[in-house]
Amino acid sequence: MAFATARSLALKGADGHVIDVQVDVSPGVVGTTLVGRVDKSLSEARDRVRMAINNDCGRWPATKRVTVLLSPADLPKGGTHYDLAIAVAVLAADTSCRDLTPDLLDGWAFVGELSVSGGLRPVPGVLPMVIAAAAHGLTRVFVPEPQAAEASLVPGMTVFGVRSLAQVSAVLRGAEVPEASPVVAPSASPLATWRGEDRLAGVDLSDVDGLEDVRYAVEVAAAGGHPLMLVGPRGSGKTSIAERIPTILPDLTTEQSLEVTALHSVAGTLPDGSGLLRRPPWYAPHHSATGASVLGGGTGRVRPGQVSLAHHGVLFLDEFPHFRADVVEAMRQPMESGEVTIARGEESATYPARSLVVLAANSCPCGRYHGLSGSACECSPVQRQHYLRKLSGPIVDRVDIWMEVRPQPRMSQAPYAPARESSADVRARVSAARERQAARYRGCDWMLNAAAPGPVLDQRWPLTPDAQHLVDGELADGRLTRRGLTRVQRLAWTVADCAGVPRPGEEEARVALALRSSDPARSLPAEAVAVAAS
């Protein structure tokens, strides 16, 4: 039989699909044909595989017709990671050499790009591919040696990290595994390997003077996963507060770590040899970033953007009014549903994007504090209106917490200055609030209040009658939309969770309305801030 099947994986978004690489080697017009909706990078595999076999195994069927079908044929396929599966299927289907037979390929998955010499090179997306292989009953997988640690993160999977096609063939045949040159990773300059988040390694919430109301708002946002807007003059502490939000978030759970690590693997940003990402990620794209970099996309293959790479972490959009209009409008979907769908021609992909979105903006175009005595702002009303236009409408209606950040006097050296809480202190309260939510939502598809559907809250976890009457009054007076009402209900539950209250009452509803409101006249109740800091 001149036919063999090897299994590889295709990625659609962050989800993997098992692909049957079926190879037929038979008499006919000499040539190699690839079918099954393959893109250009995969079409070039015929040349890579032929040279790899000739230089590493010497058994390419040069006098026969080779047909390669990647099934299911209606699923778009791209990438170089199919090389290894194609190569072993060709070797097994070639009847002129019976060292490798088709039955030896059963139960294996093959992932890796081949070089001309037959060496195996790393490819992006190994972790979600191996997760998909395990879900479909495959128990053994070949991956490039540098990515063996990444693939081994999947429980119950036997991983073989190999360096060459010859080593793969030897393992399958039970023969002695030959030596092979190690995979040499491309060298990078210090600038290319510098990671901007390293500068945040030593920051702590105790570094920030004053801003007690903002600190409380940040604690509530972190506890419930609520989108947050910070508005204030330049230098008032918006960025300092935002950079410290990851320090008050608890470590990721095992399930969350797998999701985040898989997304970084798909994007190709996961360092070789790294394990699960345990800490919440932090991303802060520049306001000149394109929609493809923030939301995802790209040419050739759809990749996750920073909103997805920040999944279960923090996405900070500083100078939000300066972001491109298409980026601002596209943020509606991830802020509402916690996922983002990208369509490019016939290809579409959906990535999770349940990050804590933090927006920041100045009070006016020049960044000076408009409206206070002594302010040096010279912006005209038209300029301010144009600048703040992006802070109104559908986007702001999806922001749960709106907080004005005012300049603070230096308090750290004053004799009456209160002790400032550290990130560890606040993180303990955030963790406790999240544990209450996890217990309440056990068995549900969400874990935090910010993702709880409004109808479910009304039916299973309603506010007290007095609290609901207060919120309904805001809706009747036109100060809340229907979407805003649901978000206030979610906020009230988070306020209650932070305070250890079993059910939100009128006081928690008032605090939620104050956090939700963008009206400076509606200030946050001082007692709520005092209770949080005690």
Give me the tens of pLDDT residue by residue for the chain, a chain 534 residues long.
588 999 999 988 777 889 999 999 988 888 888 898 888 878 888 889 999 998 887 678 877 889 999 999 888 888 899 999 999 999 998 877 667 888 999 999 999 999 998 999 999 889 999 999 999 999 999 999 989 989 999 988 999 999 999 999 999 988 888 887 776 554 444 444 444 445 566 788 888 877 888 999 999 999 999 999 998 888 888 998 999 999 999 999 989 999 999 999 888 887 766 678 899 999 999 999 988 889 988 766 778 999 999 999 999 999 998 898 888 888 988 998 889 988 776 677 889 999 999 999 988 887 776 555 546 777 888 887 788 777 767 787 889 999 988 877 665 555 555 567 889 999 999 999 999 999 999 999 899 999 999 999 999 999 999 999 999 998 888 888 888 899 999 999 999 999 999 999 999 999 999 998 755 445 555 555 554 444
Residue 338, Ramachandran bin (φ over 0: left; ψ between -120 and 50: alpha; else beta): left
Q: For 38, which DSSP code?
A: B
State the Cα angle at 220 between 214 and 222, rounded to 5°: 100
Three-state SS for 366?
coil
Q: How far apart are CA 323 and CA 520, in angstroms?
A: 25
**Residue among 220, 204, 221, 215 at smallest CA distance from 238:** 215
Among 3.40.50.300, 3.20.190.10, 3.30.110.30, 3.50.90.10, what is the CATH number of 205-408?
3.40.50.300
Q: Do 3-173 and 205-408 have matching folds?
A: no
Kindly state the tokens that stand for 516. Answer: 């939700």
State the Cα angle at 492 between 246 and 358, rounded to 5°: 30
Task: Kindly report the backbone phi and psi dihedral angles of residue 395, in degrees, each rounded to the nearest multiple of 5, phi listed first.
Answer: -70, -50
pLDDT, one tens digit per residue, over 364-410 is 887 776 555 546 777 888 887 788 777 767 787 889 999 988 877 66
Give the model's pLDDT for residue 187: 44
Three-state SS for 211?
coil
Q: How far apart are CA 308 and CA 66, in angstroms?
A: 40
**Residue among 274, 347, 279 at smallest CA distance from 311:** 279
The per-residue DSSP string of 456-518 comes to HHHHHSPPPHHHHHHHHHHHHTTSS-HHHHHHHHHHHHHHHHHHT-SS--HHHHHHHHHHH--
State the Cα angle at 143 between 142 and 146, rounded to 5°: 145
Q: Where are the domains of the chain?
A: 3-173, 205-408, 452-533
Encoded amino acid at 517, one letter: S
- For 81-99, b where at least 16 C-beta lie within 10 A, e where not — what string? bbbbbbbbbbbbbbeeeee
Give the model's pLDDT for residue 272: 66
Strands (E), 139-268: 140-144, 158-162, 228-231
Give the model's pLDDT for residue 37: 85
Three-state SS for 83?
helix
pLDDT, one tens digit per residue, over 31-44 is 888 898 888 878 88
**Tokens 């922001």 identify what position?**
399
State the Cα angle at 179 between 147 and 47, rounded to 5°: 70
Q: How far apart are CA 405 and CA 94, in angstroms?
A: 71
Cα of 15 vs its chain's centroid, Å: 13
Q: Contact, 79 vs 41, CB < 8 A?
A: yes
Q: Please state, in angstroms and as integers, the Cα–Cα distance from residue 533 to each residue in 92, 231, 444, 528, following that order.
A: 68, 23, 31, 9
Give the model's pLDDT for residue 273: 63
Give the model's pLDDT for residue 191: 41
Q: Contact, 244 vs 219, CB < 8 A?
A: no
Among 3.40.50.970, 3.20.20.140, 3.30.230.10, 3.30.497.10, what is the CATH number of 3-173?
3.30.230.10
Q: What share of the chain is helix, strand, coil (3-state, %, to 5)?
A: 40, 15, 40
Q: Contact, 182 vs 145, CB < 8 A?
A: yes
Q: Contact, 13 vs 125, CB < 8 A?
A: no
Q: Contact, 303 vs 266, CB < 8 A?
A: yes
Q: For 340, which DSSP code?
A: E
Q: Contact, 317 vs 350, CB < 8 A?
A: no
Helix (H) or strand (E) run with residue 341 in it: strand 339-344
Give the model's pLDDT for residue 121: 92
Three-state SS for 306?
helix
**Residue among 125, 114, 130, 87 at smallest CA distance from 183:** 114
Kindly state the tokens that stand for 431. Answer: 């963790």
